[in-house]
Structure 1
């Protein structure tokens, strides 16, 4: 596996090449890999395919933070007890800290049975997607078989092993305990961090395209010329355009 550099510099999303990324692409592992390869200095595509899923998710969150200047992400959930929708925020720093876990995952299935699993990587995500398993049970078996380093996986152990992976590597399958502000009921809300990060970067790309359209239409500048402007100067020109309408 490629070793993680001690510190990877992540530039904000928003350069000319970033406009070519297709956020409608259903190949999410490929999209995440392309994003991180473009925006993280000193890395290549092979590096990000080899990284554990949790580190890829953490890097994606760092990219959002570098782009939007945020320290938390907003989420909403519907209370299963009273059906009210409520909002909450997740701080990024604690999430990024959970991605530092390394080494195999040891799971005891009884006094004489132990299973050792490796942590899933981006390459695993690509392979599982290409395999196109027909049912969730087949998908779970495929995943566990490909992660198995030692021991035997019995069908009755699959749920426990999946839970062990989620506990040892929280960003792989994050769930947040929430208290409904309307009725007080407790619930666990599953969170798709990659989906949330990609949605913010997609919104950023759409905003950049609108900026390019407005400035190119008024001044005749190219995409490269528009994006070469600092965000502050770009905003000033856009404000002048808006004021003249």
Structure 2
């Protein structure tokens, strides 16, 4: 298996059985980048045992693309889990910390906390950050699969819709019916995703074997897999169950074309879509710093010494002068 193929497999291992049916629409313009830096969002619900383990309580996510540390994120990294973890670490704050800046505590959240989050929870956080960084909806473009049509269309997904999908599968594990018995499967974490990407496998079947074994409880392994091999008949059953257990990892959209009324089925990587939006926010920040530095002859440090809301006002004044 080629590295690129396995990267995709590990990023989007489970195929979602859930399907969101939407009506497509002709493409329209994307909203302007928001200048509201006051927005923040509660961190998605996490298990109490993880809260206790890392001594955290009231976490929230602040917008990405307004602060100097946001420029330190390298979006050209080869392994996506590293990129996701760095973004989450950068934007997560604890509101109960005594020493806080405008967007949270000076105490850094333990990085291991983010690695122990399920992949679906990490995706949910990235979606929230993507909407905080720009328009409140995610615009997705598709081309009709009907060869006689091939028209381009767009749909808008709201963060409320996507969070509701994730909340419908809040359980940590599910039991999979295997013949006359059942086995418990839990959600994969960011750490396991990274491990899978870092390993070498002879083929896709070998990769799936390792992934399923990782997600079985220890007592289940000794009971069902004495030879250390996952039977082939397990794979489909487990795959279908994981689709219900972790729906945001990858899901299918059924889009009704407004031109020919054909129903199109499209897969969508929500994590990648979020990262594209966040990368765009970083590019906007770079351009803003460049414009302010060029106009006022400030250094980068001097630019970021100015609060974000005032930088927006200065940029508006520069644009007003240029349009005279």
TM-score in terms of structure 2 length: 0.69
d(CA) in 1 for partners of 2:202, 2:82: 21
Which of 66, 79, 82 is 2:132 aligned to? 66
Check conservation: 1:23, 1:31, Cα contact below 8 A. Answer: yes
Is structure 2 residue 59 aligned with structure 1 residue 8?
yes
Q: Name the stretch that deviates more: 54-63 or 98-107.
A: 98-107
Matched, 1:133 2:201: yes
Q: Residue 41 of structure 1 aligns to a residue in which SS? A: strand
* Pairwise CA distance, 1:244: 4.1
Q: 1:199 matched to which residue of 2?
A: 276
Pair 1:238-2:315 in alignment: yes
SS in 1 for 2:74: coil
Structure 2 SS opposite 1:163:
helix
Q: Are the aligned partners of 2:249 and 2:271 in contact in 1 as well (CA < 8 Å)?
A: no
Shift of 1:214: 1.4
| Residue of structure 2 aligned with 1:146, choices 214, 222, 237 | 214
Answer 1 or 2: higher relative contact order, Cα 8 Å, separation at least 6. 2
Cα distance in 2 for partners of 1:196, 1:216 equals 31
Q: Report the alpha carbon displacement of residue 231 of structure 1 after superposing the two structures with TM.
A: 4.3
Q: Unmatched 5+ residue regions in structure 1? A: none
Q: State whether residues 98 and 169 of structure 1, in contact with CA within 8 Å, keep that contact through their aligned partners in structure 2.
A: no
- Distance in 2 separating the partners of 1:28 and 1:17: 19
Q: Assess if the C-alpha contact under 8 Å between 2:175 and 2:183 holds in 1.
A: yes
Rounded to whole Å, the distance in 1 between the matches of 2:138 and 2:82 is 23
By how many angstroms is 1:225 displaced?
A: 2.7
Give the CA deviation at 1:7.
Answer: 4.2
CA offset digits 1:188-243 (Å, max 9, x no partner): 22111111111111111111111111111221212233234344432333344343
Does 1:97 find its partner at 2:145?
A: no
Q: Deviations over 1:21-70 (max 9, x none)?
A: 001112110111111111111332111100111111111112222222x4
Tell me, in whole angstroms, the C-alpha distance in 2 between the residues paired with 1:7 and 1:171.
23
2:261 matches 1:184:
yes
The residue that corresponds to 2:293 in the other structure is 216
Structure 1 stretch displaced more, 187-196 or 197-206: 187-196
Whether 1:85 aligns to 2:152 is yes
* Aligned with 1:41 (options 93, 99, 102): 93
Q: CA RMSD in A?
A: 2.2
State how 1:153-192 maps to structure 2 within 5 Å: 153-192=230-269
Moved more, 2-11 or 152-161: 2-11
Distance 1:51 1:174, change over 3 A: same
How high is the TM-score relative to the length of structure 1?
0.89
Q: 1:51 aligns with which of 117, 135, 143?
A: 117
1:168 CA drift (Å):
2.0
Match of 2:78 in 1: 26
Q: How many residues align?
A: 243
**Distance (Å, rounded) in 2 between the aligned partners of 1:7 and 1:87:** 36
User: What is the deviation of 1:118?
Assistant: 1.0
* Matched position secondary structure for 1:170: coil
Check if 1:115 corresponds to 2:170: no
Q: Where in structure 2 are there 5+ consecutive unaligned residues? A: 1-48, 95-108
8 Å Cα contact 1:71-1:93 kept in structure 2: no
Higher helix share: 1
